[in-house]
């Protein structure tokens, strides 16, 4: 059984339909990347899946439970889904360590010492331990994103959502973040990542979902999708993004 199963998910803003019946599945241990032109609805999709945005119609089955039904404790679901944002969204008034422990203490009700221990362990994994006492403003972009990844991972989520995790970074820092996510991929962390960065997509995915105008056009592995695809939309998209690099 899939960890996440999305059925006919649609989302409209002020009458404009952004998602037009999305179907996808994500199993435990799997990592998928969602790609597509800007404005294809990929960021909206991610936000609909943990109901940061309420879907207009369709069903989202998470761990066998339809979370779009009324009466579902959505906060529990959200706490079980790690979310990494394009612009890091670290809490500016908290140190790196406090950013990580806040959720552990307040949501998982861990003791302070226990939370710090857990945070140290996770920070160690991504090479951020020496920055634990710094505030977000004192970090580089790549460090911020690594801290944000740790904040999400420390909650031991069932799945990690990443929304354009490298697009606010310059190439060098981007590489540093790709390395970290690739490490998670090799550890079989369940991930769903939205990006338009083919480099990131290739190194962190089991398969790539291509979205265009609110529908899934194709799902395949990077090698088959990137070069000379039969569908002109896909071919054109990857020609442009890969040529740019």
What residues line the site for other proteins (CB under 8 A)? 50, 52, 75-79, 81, 83, 85, 87-93, 102-103, 106-107, 134-138, 151, 155
The distance of closest approach from Cβ of residue 90 to other proteins in the complex, given in angstroms and rounded to an integer, is 7
| 172: number of Cβ within 10 Å | 10
Chain-centroid distance of CA 122 in Å reads 18
Question: What radius of gyration do the chain's Cα atoms show?
Answer: 18
Closer residue to other proteins, CB minimum distance, 138 or 188: 138
Q: Is the dihedral of CA 213, 216, 217, 222 positive or negative?
A: positive
DSSP-derived 3-state class of residue 26: strand
Nearer to other proteins, 42 or 229 (CB): 42
Q: Closest separation between CB of residue 20 and other proteins, Å?
A: 24
Nearer to other proteins, 106 or 224 (CB): 106
Residues comprising the chain, all counted: 245
What is the smallest separation between the CB atom of 194 and other proteins, expressed in angstroms?
A: 14
**Do the strands 31-35 and 159-163 form a parallel or antiparallel pair, or are they unpaired?**
unpaired
Smallest separation (angstroms) from other proteins to the CB of 195: 17
CA–CA separation, 85 vs 164, rounded Å? 7
Nearer of residues 83 and 210 to other proteins, judged by Cβ: 83
């Amino acid at each position: 059984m899939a960890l996440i199963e999305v059925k006919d998910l649609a989302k409209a803003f002020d009458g404009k339909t952004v998602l037009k019946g999305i179907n996808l599945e994500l199993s435990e241990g799997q990592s998928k990347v969602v790609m597509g032109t800007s404005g294809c609805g990929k960021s909206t999709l991610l936000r609909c899946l943990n109901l940061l945005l309420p879907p207009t119609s369709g069903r989202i089955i998470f761990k066998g439970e339809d979370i779009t039904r009324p009466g579902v404790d959505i906060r529990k679901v959200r706490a079980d889904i790690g979310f990494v944002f394009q612009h890091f969204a670290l809490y500016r008034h908290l140190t790196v360590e406090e950013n990580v422990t806040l959720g552990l203490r307040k949501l998982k009700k861990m003791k302070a010492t226990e939370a710090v221990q857990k945070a140290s362990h996770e920070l160690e994994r991504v090479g951020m331990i020496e920055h634990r006492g710094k505030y977000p403003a004192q970090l580089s972009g790549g460090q911020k994103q690594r801290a944000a990844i740790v904040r999400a991972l420390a909650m031991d989520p069932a799945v990690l959502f990443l929304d354009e995790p490298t697009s606010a970074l310059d190439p060098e820092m981007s590489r540093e973040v790709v390395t970290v996510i690739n490490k998670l991929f090799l550890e079989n962390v369940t991930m769903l990542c939205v990006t338009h960065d083919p480099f990131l997509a290739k190194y962190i995915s089991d398969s790539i979902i291509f979205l265009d105008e609110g529908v899934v056009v194709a799902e395949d592995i990077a090698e088959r999708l990137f070069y000379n695809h039969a569908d002109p939309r896909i071919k054109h998209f990857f020609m442009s993004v890969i040529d740019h690099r």
